[in-house]
Amino acid sequence: MKYKSLPEMKSKLQDIRSRLLGGIEKTLKTSQDEEFTQLVPDTTDDASRSFSRQMLLNLGEQDRERLIQVEEALYQMENGGYGMCKLCEKSIPEARLKVVPFAQYCVSCLNEIEQDQKNNGHNGSDQFEAF
């Protein structure tokens, strides 16, 4: 399916990608700077620093997943298959892609997946862990 606002979606994806990559670079830089900042004791700053670092670590995994989705969407834009739901293979509505250009599922499939995770996910794995 051809989307009218494909260029808009593409630039949005590229924007997200560069922001994610920029964030990773910043994370690497701050972790390198850590050795230097240790030479200058600053207790109040230390507490906030470790807090924001924890947040970056938490964000890290989500960002990595997001980056993979963005890369895949950009690849599909070039090679075809962009905007196709991975589950039902229907075209994802343009309105949804404008909001979430890296969407991989249509709304109804996404709801089903989320329902599945709620119903099976926790109870199932908890039972396995008990044994």
Q: Which listed residue (42, 88, 114, 122) binds Zn ion by CB under 5 A? A: 88
Asked if residues 75 and 17 have their Cβ atoms less than 8 Å apart, the reply is: no
From the list 10-18, 60-68, 70-78, 85-93, the region that binds Zn ion by CB under 5 A is 85-93
**Dihedral sign, Cα of residue 64, residue 38, residue 51, residue 26:** negative
Least CB distance from residue 114 to Zn ion, whole Å? 13
**By CB under 5 A, how many residues form the interface with Zn ion?**
5
From the list 10-18, 24-32, 47-55, 88-96, the region that binds Zn ion by CB under 5 A is 88-96
Phi, psi for residue 104 in degrees, rounded to 5: -110, -10
Q: How far is CA 67 from CA 58, 60, 63, 90, in A?
A: 15, 10, 6, 23
Q: Which listed residue (87, 91, 98, 112) binds Zn ion by CB under 5 A? A: 87
Least CB distance from residue 102 to Zn ion, whole Å? 15
